[in-house]
Structure 1
Amino acid sequence: MAQFKTKFIQFLKLLFPSSGTELLVLLFFLVVYGYLGSFIAIHYKIIFDSRIPWDAYFSFDNKSIVMTGGSFERHPLSYYFFNWIRELALLFSDGKMNGNFRFILAWFSNIAVSLSILQVFKYLKNIIRLPLILSLLLILFFGTFSTTILLSFTPENFTYTLFLLTLFNHYSAIKLKNEKKIPALVLALSGITIGGLTVTNIAKVFIPVAFEKGLFKSWKKFGNAVIRVIFAVICFVLLYLNRIDFKYQNIFSKTNEQYEKFSNVNSTPTWDMILSYFFGGNILFSDFIIRDKHNMMGYHYKGLIMSVYSSWIPYIFIAVLLILITWSYYKNFKNKLAQVLMISFLFDIVIHCIMRFGLHTSYIYGGHFVFVYPLLLGWLFYSYKESPKMLSFLTVVVSILFVYVLTNNYLRMTEFFWFLNKYY
């Protein structure tokens, strides 16, 4: 019992602020995102409208996700998770799907994203051990990304995936840094929650296991790791099959159907979709396009999507950021914690950029990987901790990128509010 109590306290310290600075960081983002989400929820219907199942803004499926958790082949266990979210929101709104219902949904999203940013801050401060000023710069940069702004008020799988992935990456980094293995129960729980919200992400849970100390030098350690992974996979598979009444044939047919639907869009050159949507759209809003939509039942509405960049400046921004990330990976190639982050990121690059799944709307998938940017930038700063001139140079470059993102995304959000005022 005493051991369980100790583990529980350690988990709370991992999850929530454990210092005054961490508390201020969490409160800052709760207030900023909370004000934004509350205003949108109270004055507009776009967060949840029972007539609009999908694509009201940037291809998010708000109503569909809240009511069903999404398609079982991509989000196998999110049905159960969003049942709890929906019922809690209905409890606070007296059973009505009104402004109060939207307000609670927005605050759930706000809390999840703010805690995600806190996990990134903890990683920068406690794992990489950056100076406070650099950690604050990187989380402010991260906090102005288009993905974190949108997910802070959007009830979606990606919102909670962002939180779970940042939490797991922080936890696994602590374990690897202390040269300890990740317990079987933690692997299983992480696989169920992360993979349950988006099935492909379950692979990311097992990446840190490959970097445990002495894994490939001891048959005993390797066998133990294999058993832990198999145990986690079995738990996940059994719950997945139970969700679909063990009709596993549906998984293959539906998955193939989804792949054909979301991977055969050729209206824009592939290179531009990769830069504008996958690498850029998750960070820097591009131009917006208004489209006519309908809900298959006679109701017509307006949808907002992103187009590719129309100016050369965003492309320069993306190029500079990717150079910094590649530079960080090169400098920290022998660092197992940086390897975990990059391999996880490469996994998404393969799915969306090479396999082209959802590439034309990949700006909505940022919750799966966008946190990698501030963390790898943190490792880049770390690699030059003994070089004041290089640290100053990197600080200036990231500060310029931050100011540009802040300015661009603020202006784009004013356009978003014009859209809300006109149609919602």
Structure 2
Amino acid sequence: MAFKSKLINLLKLIFPSSFIELGIFAFFIICYGILGSYIALNYRIIFDDRIPWDAYFSFDNRSIIMTGGSFERHPLAYYFFNWIRELALLISGGKTNDTFRLTLAWFSNLVISSSIVQVFKYLKNIISLPLFFSLLITFFFGLFSTNIILSFTPENFTYTLFLLTLFNYYAAIKIKKEEKIPAIPLILAGISIGGLTVTNIVKVFIPVVFEKGLFKNWKKFGNAVFRITLTCICFILLYLNRIDFKYKTIFSKTNSQYEKFSNVKSTPIWDMISSYFFGGNILFPSFIIRDKHNMKGFDFKGLFMDVYTSGIPYIFISILLTLILWSYFRNFKNKFVQILMISFFIDIIIHCIMRFGLHTSYIYGGHFVFVYPLLLGWLFYSYKSSPKILSFLTIILGLLFTYLASSNYLRMTEFFWFLNQYYQ
């Protein structure tokens, strides 16, 4: 009975567990599915055997599908994408054709749609927002550029977004019940989340620090240290096994990657931070086309995001960030909010302060965009007894929603122009 109960709870955690959750899942899987299916069946951009990287927005589709990406940043992704690739090849009869691309697109679609359901679950069950506000914020989140692009893009970030939203919701349930996060779920989260992107393993440990009475009881503190240590040991052993225990290659490769992705000076840092890191993951900037090659004699066109070219997108992002900061300081003593903000701050340090990949930070949205809707949810919740302010916030979010929908729709028409020109 105990096993059956745990299995049911696990299924309720991962999958839609109510009619409204099922409706949200169905809505997004249909919308994203139409988009991804059309692209997969009519264009070769999702997977082209000649193009390992940079066909659009610096994503490494072919490289990720075939190898999982570089081991120093994505140490265990190799094993995960082996399963994805082989299953897609099984469905397509061993060919990398339109069926292969369609399968990959639908994997991404299922994962991103599930991520949006996890955000709704958090808003409804952890924050206890009224249904209207939960739906408004959820659909606002569904329009983010990161979700639109990742809904048909086979990438590490696609699956990372789902795993992070799932784990944050699970951890929030445990903390709300004043329970500790058991060792096995913590280890699984560390291996899966850290295995897809190594720096994200730190985010797995953040909720542990906020477990009830952790720093007032030495036994609880010792148990937390034990769970974190055990997770690290399991992760490190798997990581080293992946590279045949040649640990010195980690440092040399990591250093070369940092030098490669941290010394771009073509755009002012403040504009890369605003247009790419804070903005590009939510509101598409304008696009630019560049000539690319695959290092083996094949030339192709790559699509990249440019900085914002008018004042309105900067105003949009400024208003959204103001709401996020408002939520943080309004709920400063709320441990759920602190967990989210500390997680977000890790990415700010990596990309904005250390400047790793800052010039293409719009592709890293899967690591942190879910923080925006959740912090918005906490802001709305904090004013549940103030109808006037709640109405004001609703109007502001409604205006942001409208602009986001129209602007991102326009940019996607430009994306399809690019596909029609170069990838039919």
TM-score band by shorter chain is over 0.9
Q: Report the Cα offset of residue 420 of structure 1.
A: 0.2
| Counterpart code for 1:127 | I
Q: Deviations over 1:260-281 (max 9, x none)?
A: 0000001111000000000000
Secondary structure (helix, strand or coil) at the match of 2:301 reads strand
State the alpha-carbon separation in 2 of the partners of residues 37 and 101 from structure 1. Answer: 12
Q: Report the Cα offset of residue 380 of structure 1.
A: 0.1
Specify the alignment match of 2:271 in structure 1.
272
Specify the alignment match of 1:148 in structure 2.
147
State the alpha-carbon separation in 2 of the partners of residues 26 and 95 from structure 1. Answer: 30
Q: Could you say what the CA RMSD is over the residues aligned between the two structures, in angstroms?
A: 0.5
| Counterpart code for 1:196 | G
| Counterpart code for 2:299 | H
Secondary structure (helix, strand or coil) at the match of 2:291 reads strand
Question: Please, which runs of 5 or more residues in structure 1 have no aligned partner?
Answer: none
Q: Percent identity?
A: 75
Q: Report the Cα offset of residue 18 of structure 1.
A: 1.0
State the alpha-carbon separation in 1 of the partners of residues 215 and 422 from structure 2. Answer: 58
Moved over 6 A (4+): none
Secondary structure (helix, strand or coil) at the match of 1:305 reads strand
State the alpha-carbon separation in 2 of the partners of residues 325 and 187 from structure 1. Answer: 28
Q: Report the Cα offset of residue 17 of structure 1.
A: 1.1
2:248 maps to 1:233: no
State the alpha-carbon separation in 1 of the partners of residues 138 and 415 from structure 2. Answer: 24
2:338 maps to 1:349: no
| Counterpart code for 1:6 | S
| Counterpart code for 1:113 | I
Secondary structure (helix, strand or coil) at the match of 1:370 reads coil
TM-score (normalised: structure 2): 0.99
2:115 maps to 1:121: no
Q: Report the Cα offset of residue 185 of structure 1.
A: 0.7
Question: Please, which runs of 5 or more residues in structure 2 have no aligned partner?
Answer: none
| Counterpart code for 1:179 | E
State the alpha-carbon separation in 2 of the partners of residues 236 and 399 from structure 1. Answer: 43
State the alpha-carbon separation in 2 of the partners of residues 21 and 389 from structure 1. Answer: 28
State the alpha-carbon separation in 1 of the partners of residues 265 and 2 from structure 2. Answer: 56
Secondary structure (helix, strand or coil) at the match of 1:207 reads helix
State the alpha-carbon separation in 1 of the partners of residues 406 and 94 from structure 2. Answer: 40
| Counterpart code for 2:138 | I
State the alpha-carbon separation in 1 of the partners of residues 124 and 90 from structure 2. Answer: 38
Specify the alignment match of 2:60 in structure 1.
61
Q: Deviations over 1:281-331 (max 9, x none)?
A: 000000100000000000000000001000011111111011000000001
Specify the alignment match of 1:300 in structure 2.
299
Alignment of 1:216-255 (within 5 A): 216-255=215-254
State the alpha-carbon separation in 2 of the partners of residues 156 and 325 from structure 1. Answer: 27
Q: Deviations over 1:26-49 (max 9, x none)?
A: 000000000000000000000000
| Counterpart code for 1:409 | N
State the alpha-carbon separation in 2 of the partners of residues 372 and 207 from structure 1. Answer: 14
Specify the alignment match of 1:211 in structure 2.
210
Secondary structure (helix, strand or coil) at the match of 1:95 reads coil
State the alpha-carbon separation in 2 of the partners of residues 279 and 346 from structure 1. Answer: 12
Secondary structure (helix, strand or coil) at the match of 1:52 reads coil
2:4 maps to 1:19: no
Specify the alignment match of 2:175 in structure 1.
176
State the alpha-carbon separation in 1 of the partners of residues 207 and 270 from structure 2. Answer: 31
Count of residues paired in the alignment: 423
TM-score (normalised: structure 1): 0.99
Q: Report the Cα offset of residue 3 of structure 1.
A: 2.1
State the alpha-carbon separation in 2 of the partners of residues 17 and 80 from structure 1. Answer: 27
Q: Deviations over 1:316-348 (max 9, x none)?
A: 111101100000000111111111000000000
Specify the alignment match of 1:136 in structure 2.
135
Q: Deviations over 1:40-94 (max 9, x none)?
A: 0000000000000000000000000000000000000000000000011001100
Q: Report the Cα offset of residue 6 of structure 1.
A: 1.6
State the alpha-carbon separation in 2 of the partners of residues 291 and 268 from structure 1. Answer: 16
| Counterpart code for 1:329 | Y
Secondary structure (helix, strand or coil) at the match of 2:229 reads helix
